[in-house]
């Protein structure tokens, strides 16, 4: 075994939590059973088998450790269909991190070089990309930039959406169990007893925190946009006359953008107004301006508005818009997710892309 491989294994084992009791013994037992070479086998083959078995023991112990932490689902001899290959993400200029889920596989890149690829049902970066929270198996898992699992919180169901509070102190997440989706809030350090159910019946649409962290917007089971005031523990329904498909608070102030099947609305303390009408490819906040991408005849159109709803220009978009983040608009052309000339992620032509976020 090369010294480089030894060093990698040592680093992996040093960062991994302790394995389940007996995991190492079971892996060793299986490896030793495989070390029964025929009496006539040559010494060189026996040495190679020993080296391979030793490597297998170390990898099995490491995998068992990560599985115990809820960070990895271990399945030996599985015949499951392999996940599509995803090229490493390229961190956009000025960003602290980027995360995307493509066909159920999470890819993350964070300033400093940390990269992660694993199966996940939802994901979100904490402010300044200090942590990544992900739905893995039947758990909500928080990981540090060095890959260390900070904590694992078991849930009854599957995590389908995650949103960090702007101050990083809490996480809002949605759990699907059967046909019902519930909204929960938990402290970012998994403080014991901090998991609270805010609404037991909501739609599977990512919630959004207000900039001051004192309010949370989400979509109720009836399709209406609801703002939950944490300070007064009250809820109010945003007056929009169509089923809501997305909500997004501005990164500054209290303006809330609401997407419906026939346009985007802007809700403020002084009232609600229509910003665009018709189909929408993507919407969100770009440098504290509301950005809405609408389909066009030759190409899509990116329209910008102030937080008060006043137009601030437009530009053509080549490709299909997938997401609007505070730092860039992401579009797909052919097989790549691109912004300007920077390729962020290569995906299969018909791949499903979701939870794409830049922080």
Same domain, 184 and 245: yes
pLDDT in tens, 210-237: 999 999 999 999 999 999 998 888 999 9
Same domain, 47 and 160: no
Instruction: In whole angstroms, give the CA distance from residue 303 to residue 292.
Output: 5
Write down which residue in 68, 86, 108 finishes a domain. 68
Residue 339 has pLDDT above 60, yes or no: yes
Residue 62 has pLDDT above 50, yes or no: no
Same domain, 150 and 29: no
Q: Please, where are the H alpha helices in 199-254?
A: none
Per mean pLDDT, which range of 80-89, 199-208, 293-302, 341-350 is the poorest? 80-89
Domain of residue 61: give its range.
3-68
Instruction: In whole angstroms, give the CA distance from residue 219 to residue 207.
Output: 7
Same domain, 56 and 102: no
Q: What is the CATH number of the domain that holds 249?
A: 2.130.10.10
Same domain, 27 and 131: no
Q: Which residues pair with 220 in a beta bridge?
A: 202
Instruction: In whole angstroms, give the CA distance from residue 356 to residue 358.
Output: 7
The pLDDT score that the predictor gives to residue 220 is: 97
- Which of the residue ranges 21-30, 57-66, 106-115, 292-301 has the most confident prediction, judged by mean pLDDT? 292-301
Residue 337 has pLDDT above 80, yes or no: no
Q: Which of 249, 256, 284, 287 is nearest to 95 (CA)?
A: 287
Count Cβ atoms within 10 A of the Cβ of residue 235 and give its class: 0-12 exposed, 13-18 middle, 19 or more buried.
middle
Q: Is residue 81 part of a domain?
A: no
Same domain, 135 and 50: no
Q: Is residue 89 part of a domain?
A: no
The pLDDT score that the predictor gives to residue 12 is: 46
3-state DSSP assignment of residue 340: coil
Same domain, 125 and 47: no
Q: Is residue 117 part of a domain?
A: yes
Instruction: In whole angstroms, give the CA distance from residue 161 to residue 204.
Output: 7
Count Cβ atoms within 10 A of the Cβ of residue 82 and give its class: 0-12 exposed, 13-18 middle, 19 or more buried.
exposed
Same domain, 179 and 254: yes
pLDDT in tens, 144-163: 877 789 999 999 999 999 99
Same domain, 49 and 158: no
The stretch 278-301 carries a mean pLDDT of 91
Instruction: In whole angstroms, give the CA distance from residue 17 to residue 22.
Output: 14
Same domain, 173 and 35: no
Same domain, 330 and 206: yes
- Phi, psi angles (nearest 5°) of residue 58: -65, -45
Same domain, 201 and 333: yes
Q: Is residue 278 part of a domain?
A: yes
As for how many domains the chain has, the answer is: 2
- Tell which wins on pLDDT, 41 or 353: 353
């Amino acid at each position: 075994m090369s010294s480089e491989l030894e060093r990698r294994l040592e680093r992996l084992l040093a960062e991994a939590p302790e394995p389940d009791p007996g995991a190492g013994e079971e892996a060793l037992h299986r490896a030793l059973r495989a070390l029964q070479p025929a009496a006539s086998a040559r010494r060189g083959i026996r040495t190679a088998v020993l080296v391979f078995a030793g490597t297998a023991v170390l990898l099995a112990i490491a995998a068992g450790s990560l599985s115990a932490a809820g960070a990895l689902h271990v399945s030996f001899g599985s015949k499951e269909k392999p996940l599509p290959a995803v090229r490493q993400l390229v961190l956009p200029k000025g960003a602290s991190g980027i995360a995307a889920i493509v066909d159920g596989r999470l890819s993350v890149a964070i300033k400093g070089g940390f990269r992660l690829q694993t199966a996940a049902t939802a994901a979100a970066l904490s402010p300044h990309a200090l942590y990544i929270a992900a739905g893995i198996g039947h758990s909500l898992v928080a990981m540090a930039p060095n890959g260390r699992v900070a904590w694992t919180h078991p849930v009854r169901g599957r995590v389908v959406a995650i949103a960090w509070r702007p101050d990083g102190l809490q996480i809002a997440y949605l759990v699907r169990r059967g046909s019902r989706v519930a909204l929960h809030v938990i402290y970012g350090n998994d403080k014991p007893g901090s998991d609270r159910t805010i609404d037991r019946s909501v739609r599977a649409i990512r919630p959004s925190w207000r900039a001051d962290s004192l309010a949370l917007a989400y979509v109720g089971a009836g399709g209406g946009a609801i703002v939950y005031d944490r300070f007064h523990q009250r809820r109010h329904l945003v007056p929009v006359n169509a089923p809501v498909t997305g909500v997004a608070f501005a990164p500054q102030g209290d303006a809330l953008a609401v997407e419906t099947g026939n346009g985007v609305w802007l809700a403020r303390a002084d009232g609600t107004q229509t910003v665009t009408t018709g189909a929408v490819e993507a919407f969100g906040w770009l440098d504290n301006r509301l950005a809405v991408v609408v389909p066009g005849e030759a190409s899509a159109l990116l329209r910008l508005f102030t937080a008060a709803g006043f137009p601030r220009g437009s530009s053509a978009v080549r490709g299909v818009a997938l997401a609007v983040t505070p730092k860039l608009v992401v579009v797909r052309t052919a097989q790549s997710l691109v912004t300007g000339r920077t390729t962020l992620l290569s995906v299969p032509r018909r791949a499903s892309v979701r939870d794409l976020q830049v922080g």
